[in-house]
Structure 1
Amino acid sequence: MSQILTIDRISKRYGDVVALDDMSFDVNPGELFGFVGSNGAGKTTTMRIVLGVLAADSGEARLGGKVIDLDVRRTIGYMPEERGLYPKMKVGQQLAYLAELHGLSRTEARDAVATWTERLGISERLGDTVDSLSLGNQQRVQLAAALVHDPAVLVLDEPFSGLDPVAVDVMSDVLVEKARTGVPVIFSSHQLDLVQRLCDRVGIIAKGRMRALGTVDELRSEGPSRLRVVAPGAPDGWAERIGGVRVVGHDSGATILELDAGADDQEVLQAALNTGPVHEFSAARPSLTELFREVVAG
């Protein structure tokens, strides 16, 4: 049965350092949730509290309305940023062992290992030790370890770090497929273009607090109105004469303008046409990377 993952007003301090300050958000069944922030923002601390590795000073994490205890934690698939595999143990033996720790029978564990290693393209590595694998294949094994017991929720800390494009595609496809079965999936990543492409919703965290939360489209539509104008014959400074309009950048021959509330975009269009042909006049929404910089800087 699909369940919602709830982070409810979690706070955590280390002496005078505030790691998390009243952190709250949900990850819905079947949702890919991107959890992004600078190093030290509190992403890993949040995930470790969900897993019970750390205790919160206040607040709680729940799955399906139930406070996450030892029994609930057994249903969570976790991929830590610091990979947690036994380096000298063979891949197949290790995955089967981890599956059995989660309650699968020996036969169920063997079948699950075969399924996920085949899906992740590492079935030929079952007899290899983990430390003999490339970084990308080690991460595939780590993801298999998170999936092998058919988890009710997936919590992944920087799962795409260091992967080549082919491995990124494989891992992305697996996460999308898992979410489609109704599993809540939360992952952190510094690869914001990937987060923008994959995630249903995104939370941006800074200094232990959630600063922005919503779908990518919702987040990108917030803030001041921007226009992208391509007017090849326009002289330098043509837009600066328009009230309430600022030039905020240039991109491949386009001028990016930011409009104050109440500024008339039709006045901007007329000013551009007065300089000659206009090849493009469109709304310019910030990328998730640009939005991230603005939120963190703010």
Structure 2
Amino acid sequence: MRLSKVSFRYRRRDSFVIEDADAHLAPGDVIELTGVNGAGKSTLLRLLAGLARPTAGTIADRPPVVGFAPDRFPTGQPFTVTAYLRHMSRVRGGARWEPWSERLNMGHLLDTPLGDLSKGSAHKVGLVQALMAEPGLLILDEPFAGLDVDTRETLPSIATEVAGRGGIVIASDHQGGLRGLPGVRQWSVVDGRLKEGTAAPAVEHAKATAPVTVAVTLPADELPRFLARMRDEGYRTREIEETR
């Protein structure tokens, strides 16, 4: 897969979000994409996935099967999790979603309406629909955000498997969850320009992902629901009784 002088802007008189991007991707590549918020990472991922067309330049030799897991899964759809995944299976020619549902521990979510899912649970649904058809190009936008610990630990092995069968994996990831994989390539978007080999230094990464404790005050009757939601999204919680 090759990007040649790829540029993109939303409207004719707008500034370019992505400008003159050149890159080559080979079967088995795993790419970690970094950059500050608003740098154009999500736009680049949509271009790579074929969900947006370059304003200029070309993207050639994209694998025929693309799996795309967005940062925010669109939950405003009239489906339960099972009904949605069955629908996507039909779209994907009968692809099997059940093994991925089991692997991501989603059994308790299958009868839940999409609109009732937490962000982390919705993200799992997005991952399953991206993985079910064995994509030759797997694109993940902030894949670790809001996930429970077990799923975060599973994702690197999934990326390794996709790459191992000749697929390409590209993940926009400020948490560095794929950074420990052997041979992972580093891309970054800086001022609309795609650069290679520019991952954040390890010290900066450690600071960015270090745990932070936040205290939240809630009415007592709202506490159980709040704690359950936070735990579902992968956060550690602890009740502290306020003293007066």
TM-score (norm 2): 0.74
Which structure exhibits the higher relative contact order, with contacts defined as CA atoms closer than 8 Å and separated by 6 or more residues? 2
Q: Quick one: distance in 2 between partners of 1:50 and 1:139?
A: 20
Where does residue 122 of structure 1 map in the other structure? 106
The structural deviation recorded for 1:31 is 1.9
Q: Which amino acid aligns with 1:43?
A: K
Contact 1:27-1:185 at 8 Å conserved across structures: no
- List alignment gaps of at least 5 residues for structure 1: 221-285, 294-298
Where does residue 60 of structure 1 map in the other structure? 58
Contact 1:114-1:123 at 8 Å conserved across structures: no
Q: Which amino acid aligns with 2:46?
A: R
Are positions 1:94 and 2:84 aligned together? Answer: yes
Deviation per CA, 1:13-38, whole angstroms, max 9, x where unpaired? 34241211101122321221111111
Contact 2:75-2:115 at 8 Å conserved across structures: no
Contact 2:142-2:172 at 8 Å conserved across structures: yes
- List alignment gaps of at least 5 residues for structure 2: 209-244
Where does residue 166 of structure 2 map in the other structure? 182
Alignment RMSD (CA, Å): 2.5
Equivalence map 1:135-214=2 (5 Å): 135-192=119-176, 194-198=177-181, 200-211=184-195, 213-214=196-197
Q: Quick one: distance in 1 between partners of 2:28 and 2:101?
A: 23
Equivalence map 1:1-298=2 (5 Å): 5-13=1-9, 14=11, 15-63=13-61, 72=64, 75-102=65-92, 104=93, 108-109=94-95, 112-192=96-176, 194-198=177-181, 200-211=184-195, 213-214=196-197, 286-287=201-202, 289=204
The structural deviation recorded for 1:87 is 4.4
SS at match of 2:17: strand
For the pair shown, which has the larger CA radius of gyration, 1 or 2? 1
Pick the structure with more strand per residue: 1
SS at match of 1:18: coil
The structural deviation recorded for 1:85 is 4.2
The structural deviation recorded for 1:195 is 4.0
TM-score (norm 1): 0.61
SS at match of 1:17: coil
Deviation per CA, 1:146-195, whole angstroms, max 9, x where unpaired? 01122121011111122233221122322222222211000101113x24
How many residues of Structure 1 are paired with residues of Structure 2 in the alignment? 203
